[in-house]
Structure 1
């Protein structure tokens, strides 16, 4: 599995995942940049994602939904805060309705992704920040930690297939 560590930090209100890949940062960046590749891993295997919009520029927005095993849909959105390809991506991530209108009753996380070259490929660190311990615990209870572990575990296969961003 690609994930080498996870850490839930209640004091700093963060959930961190560190993964390593046998590909250079430029290639790993493509699994974030290309919506068709992003769809192959963003949701866990039983909740695959579909991106209806994906504007990975500062201030840009993305709209997606994940489809559950019984056909149910969970909608979400991103707002890109900062981008420095192929090294860094920062975005807000939240829940929405089917029209991509944010659900103000649900938590919004700020996620920062960094890609660092290693002697064997890339180390990707993803840190999600929460507004409160209650929001952190709510999303963990909803399966965020386990879902991200499963989702990140799908990236190796995408990198191995040699696909490139279009």
Structure 2
């Protein structure tokens, strides 16, 4: 996370609330989507080493989010959030609780009432979170269980993963000539797969070759990299037949990612202009499911992703940092 971004965490025992103020270097629509779309929530909601897996979500007043928190040993804890009030891109509130696999509330545990408010300031968005408990002892228990550390790490890991991955990708681009790539995600065996592809196509990795999570410089503004993740691949590129580029990354479960066949491969389009990126995104995503709206991102790209109406996964990426390179 950018060190200039606001993050404030406080506890008010008199009102029995946890208060969090968190700023993101992204516009309000993207941040709202990250809090309200299950495919994005599953990426960051769980504190490591847990991961989130949504079973169902009906984001509306009176609807609910039914999900599991899965530990590294496979232990599953079911949770349910019941939405009470929603004002799109402004705020939403609801009751959170533990439940069983069928969604029945576990009355042995207290419920917490969340109110999340979103406010925009140019290219930044602030989320104000108030979590209220009925009893002070319930609040104290949550704090003792490490809620602050877990919640902070979950959000920070997603920031770091996105920022670093696209930073490395942009460093390998010196211009904005149009190209098509294929982006692959693996649960931890990216290196094995790309060494195999390298032997088949008899080409060499681009740039500095294999970039690992452990190669990242220490940064006090980001959570430390877990030992199990350090040797994993954060980015790699391999030219194959016809100047096509294979790109890849590991999506560690320690960071809350779940890789399954069908969601681990994207066709990545890199148009020459921002207008062309917008046109392709809008026309190709029509009738499909947008997972990341097309917009300027804090890592220096105009980026979006979606599944088209036939279920094919796409990314559209225009490198805004090289906008002047084509004007020669």
Q: Say yes or no: TM over 0.5.
A: yes
Name structure 2 gaps, 5 residues minimum: 167-290, 294-305, 307-328
Q: 1:68 to 1:3 in 2, by over 3 A?
A: farther
Give the whole-Å Cα distance in 2 for the aligned partners of 1:159 and 1:33.
Answer: 18
TM-score in terms of structure 1 length: 0.91
- Segments of 4+ moved more than 6 angstroms: none
Structure 1 segment 6-25 matched on structure 2, within 5 A:
6-25=9-28
Give the whole-Å Cα distance in 1 for the aligned partners of 2:73 and 2:104.
Answer: 23
Deviates more, 1:141-150 or 1:123-132: 141-150
Q: 2:137 aligns with which of 134, 137, 152?
A: 134
Kept after mapping to 1: 8 A contact 2:27/2:122: no
Give the whole-Å Cα distance in 2 for the aligned partners of 1:20 and 1:66.
Answer: 25
**1:33 paired to 2:36:** yes
Give the whole-Å Cα distance in 1 for the aligned partners of 2:157 and 2:57.
Answer: 20
TM-score in terms of structure 2 length: 0.48
For 1:48, the equivalent position in structure 2 comes to 51
Higher relative contact order (CA 8 A, sep 6+): 1
The SS at the match of 2:142 is: helix
**How many correspondences in the alignment?**
166
Q: 1:93 aligns with which of 80, 83, 96?
A: 96
User: Shift in Å at residue 34 of structure 1?
Assistant: 1.2
User: Shift in Å at residue 155 of structure 1?
Assistant: 4.2
Larger radius of gyration: 2
Name structure 1 gaps, 5 residues minimum: none
Give the whole-Å Cα distance in 2 for the aligned partners of 1:96 and 1:117.
Answer: 34
